[in-house]
Amino acid sequence: MKKFIMSALMIGATAAAQAQNTPVYLDETKPIEQRIDDALSRMTLEEKIAVIHAQSKFSSPGVKRLGFPDLWTDDGPHGVRPDVLWDEWEQAGQTNDSCVAFPALTCLAATWNPQLARLYGESLGEEALYRNKSVMLGPGVNIYRTPLGGRNFEYMGEDPWLASRMVVPYVQGLQSKGVAACVKHYALNNDEEYRHQVNVIVSDRALHEIYLPAFKAAVQEGGAWSIMGAYNLYQGVHNCHNATMLNKILKKDWGFDGVVISDWGGCHDTEEAIKNGLDLEFGSWTNGLSEGASNAYDNYYLALPYKKLIKEGKYTTEELDEKVRRVLRLFYRTTMNRQKPYGFLCSESHYQAALKIAQEGIVLLKNERGLLPLNNPKKILVVGENAIKMMTVGGGSSSLKAQKEILPLDGIKARFADAEVDYARGYVGDTVQSYNGVKVGRSLYETRSQTELTAEAVAKAKDADVVIFVGGLNKSDYQDCEGHDRKSYDLPYAQNEVIEAILKVNPRLVYVNISGNGATLPWIKKVPAIVQAWFIGSESGEAIASVLAGDVNPSGKLPFTWYASLDQCGAHATGSYPGTWREDYKIIDEEYKEGIYVGYRYTDSKGLKPLFAFGHGLSYTTFKLGKVTTNTQHLTPNTQMTFTVPVTNTGKVAGSEIVQLYVAAKQSKVDRPVKELKAFQKVYLQPGETQNVSLTIGVDAVSYYDEAAKGWNAEPGSYEALIGTASDKLPTKITFKLK
């Protein structure tokens, strides 16, 4: 016993001695801010400069002398991108970096289910941990302003409230694993064409009401640890070093304590970068070959050029220390966080998460003549390139090397194993076989002419019980792809022509659209069933087949307005997109002339009827909303108002409905949208079951951004709450007052 006490005492004494010797910056019992101060005081000028810029395509060097390891970032946002060569975009060819491809963020937004956003973030975080990535470059929350936008598929739709509610749990879920979110692209990167040269001119009101709320929510509610500056300009200055965007709004007004990371190659000037809020520079001289092949990283704007200005006395280390402090904070939250869980890649739970999100995000847009769910068809014909094209490969930085991707045709064959499932290519779109060295699984090689392809599809369609046309966009250039926008709102290739030809011989056609954007659907009246199936990743085929078969009752709702034509969209109707080049052809000014009238706010204001409204989505069952009751007749600046509505599943199968609440101002001294989404709730009900859904709003739901006062203003007076199940299906109207 005595011996035991002696040795325990000795161990205690050694631990105390060790603790005494542990420098503060490594002492986990000390507050992080104290550890940061201590680390900073030990760093040389060279070490400080080193941590604020890249050392490879996706990493920065840490401070090895002090025990801070490299910081690895990676795309994002739909899975963990394969490792690339040190200074190339080409994949490195590892064999342990295949990932689960989660559905694109448009699909996540279409679930209208914040719990799934949390699951998405957690699952992605676990994959990132396994791959030793500490910063995931995503999620993206740029607002869907034009359906031509090449990267809309990576974002969360047109509505600031929906995007805000979905981004917060994604960020929290990811960061709960000790992996930083890098919310992008801050801000106003709403189209891809000329993304490095576009100077956005936008009213303060539209900026604060439409384009910033999701970023603000990600920062203030989600607690995002990093944010990515966008390529484009605002007020004539690039957003990666824009004092208004970064110093004023993000850091001062919102209290952001994380790291501003430049988009890859988005930094253009050392002094602007020093002063205007950029903390960590990535991707300058991105090709690493013709430009910056030697010492590329030393030539970064925040590398030797910065050091030189300090040495010459033009700057003190005040700005530098501030940047390093933020980077150290990121280290303590990620690479130096010893409480992190273990990561794992391609686990069954991640596939389940990807499948669930895909199934809940698929939107049933139209369903007539009882075509869906398919009722034991004996002969199915699948038509379309998108049925056999891997969509996880391509599209820019979100391209992945998925361990598995079930193609729609394979998913349909597996689910309808008792039926005869035939396939016709229908049209040729994009036959490229690889992206950044990642190969597509299935050969898309095709030599037949369009006439032959159409003839084959028509011949096979004649005696099919049902034709499933899997079309839409793909991830090729000028489609749903980074770097450019779509050139047309129409479906590309010969799709419309083939659909029309098939309809002449078989009207039992289900159109499954794969995309992150809307498109014109000229044959819409003749096609009985339309399903929006997004880019849904690894489980694509299984998810689509499960919805077609009715194993899963669709419950997604559109996160954007599906315009009938481009002139229903404010950015196009006002002639604002794509902007006007300045005389020197260096900058293109794009004035957001539609102001706050984006998406349904525009179609509402003009009384236009889109093909499918924001928030629209059908089910295989029916729901009835009962009488709405409220806890009070009025709001005050400090109280909330709750609307309770009983929802009943009046059909024969279980399903989910999304109850939506929009607010309309009855009078105002400024222009107000006809209505704005301010609350929603998804509820799952068995046949015959009723549940009460509660929707709560606060004063922010009636506020607008007052440009003169430079702040939010809630005017006392009358408002209406419009409650229903889509932005064009809001049968209940309740008037209330703000006192």
Q: Which residues are tagged catalytic?
A: 263
∠ CA(230), CA(171), CA(137), 5° rounding?
Answer: 40
Judged by beta carbon, residue 184 or residue 415, the one nearer ligand BGC is 184
CA dist., res. 375 & res. 33, Å (int): 63
Report the half-sphere exposure of 406 (CA within 13 A, side-chain side): 20
Judged by beta carbon, residue 286 or residue 718, the one nearer ligand BGC is 286
CA dist., res. 563 & res. 489, Å (int): 9
**Closest distance of CB 585 from ligand BGC, Å:** 22
**Closest distance of CB 264 from ligand BGC, Å:** 4
Judged by beta carbon, residue 118 or residue 184, the one nearer ligand BGC is 184
**Closest distance of CB 83 from ligand BGC, Å:** 13
Judged by beta carbon, residue 239 or residue 397, the one nearer ligand BGC is 397
Q: Are 448 and 498 in contact (CB under 8 A)?
A: no
Asked whether position 263 contacts ligand BGC by CB under 6 A, the answer is yes
Binding characters for ligand BGC, 179-208, by CB under 6 A (x = yes): -----x------------------------
Judged by beta carbon, residue 377 or residue 395, the one nearer ligand BGC is 395
Q: Are 528 and 507 in contact (CB under 8 A)?
A: yes
Q: Provide Rg for the chain, Cα atoms.
A: 27
**Closest distance of CB 76 from ligand BGC, Å:** 6
Strands (E), 240-351: 259-262
Footprint (CB under 6 A) of ligand BGC, residues 9-28 = none
Options 144, 234, 264, 620; binder of ligand BGC; rule CB under 6 A: 264
Q: Among the residues of 151-298, which ranges form H helices?
A: 160-175, 204-206, 213-220, 270-275
**Closest distance of CB 479 from ligand BGC, Å:** 17
**Closest distance of CB 228 from ligand BGC, Å:** 7
Asked whether position 131 contacts ligand BGC by CB under 6 A, the answer is no
Judged by beta carbon, residue 47 or residue 263, the one nearer ligand BGC is 263
The full DSSP string for 529-590 is EEEE----GGGHHHHHHHHHHTSS------SS-B-SSGGGSHHHHTT-SS-EE-TTSS-EEE
Judged by beta carbon, residue 185 or residue 601, the one nearer ligand BGC is 185
CA dist., res. 489 & res. 134, Å (int): 38
Amino acid identity at 678: K
Q: Are 144 and 558 in contact (CB under 8 A)?
A: no
Strand order across the beta sheet in which 198-201 lies: 237-238, 233-234, 198-201, 588-591, 580-581
**Closest distance of CB 489 from ligand BGC, Å:** 23
**Closest distance of CB 175 from ligand BGC, Å:** 17
Q: Helix (H, G, I), strand (E, B), or coil: what is residue 205?
A: helix
Judged by beta carbon, residue 398 or residue 454, the one nearer ligand BGC is 398
Q: Are strands 655-665 and 676-685 parallel, antiparallel or unpaired?
A: antiparallel
Q: Among the residues of 439-520, which ranges form H helices?
A: 450-461, 495-505
**Closest distance of CB 484 from ligand BGC, Å:** 12
Q: Is 38 exposed, middle or buried (0-12, 13-18, 19+ CB in 10 A)?
A: middle
Judged by beta carbon, residue 75 or residue 279, the one nearer ligand BGC is 75
Peptide bond into 31 cis (omega under 30): no
Options 137, 260, 464, 533; binder of ligand BGC; rule CB under 6 A: 137
Q: Are 268 and 26 in contact (CB under 8 A)?
A: no
Binding characters for ligand BGC, 343-382, by CB under 6 A (x = yes): ----------------------------------------
Options 91, 197, 232, 397; binder of ligand BGC; rule CB under 6 A: 397
Footprint (CB under 6 A) of ligand BGC, residues 457-476 = none
CA distances from 383 to 94, 388, 409, 502 (A): 35, 9, 9, 10
Q: Are 354 and 102 in contact (CB under 8 A)?
A: yes
**Closest distance of CB 91 from ligand BGC, Å:** 12
Angle of helix 348-361 versus helix 540-549 axis, rounded to 10: 50
Judged by beta carbon, residue 227 or residue 521, the one nearer ligand BGC is 227
DSSP state of 276: T
Options 50, 55, 72, 75; binder of ligand BGC; rule CB under 6 A: 75
Asked whether position 56 contacts ligand BGC by CB under 6 A, the answer is no
**Number of residues engaging ligand BGC in binding (CB under 6 A):** 7
Judged by beta carbon, residue 54 or residue 382, the one nearer ligand BGC is 54
Contacts made by residues 336-342, CB under 8 angstroms, sequence distance 24+: 336/68, 337/178, 338/28, 339/178, 340/129, 340/177, 340/178, 341/126, 341/129, 341/177, 341/178, 342/129, 342/130
**Closest distance of CB 196 from ligand BGC, Å:** 10
Judged by beta carbon, residue 144 or residue 705, the one nearer ligand BGC is 144
Element housing 431 (H / E): none
**Phi then psi for 194, rounded to 5 degrees?**
60, 40
**Closest distance of CB 184 from ligand BGC, Å:** 5
Q: Are strands 641-649 and 629-630 parallel, antiparallel or unpaired?
A: antiparallel
Q: Are 128 and 177 in contact (CB under 8 A)?
A: yes
**379 is written with which tokens?**
């002969």
Residues within the interface to ligand BGC (CB under 6 A): 75-76, 137, 184, 263-264, 397
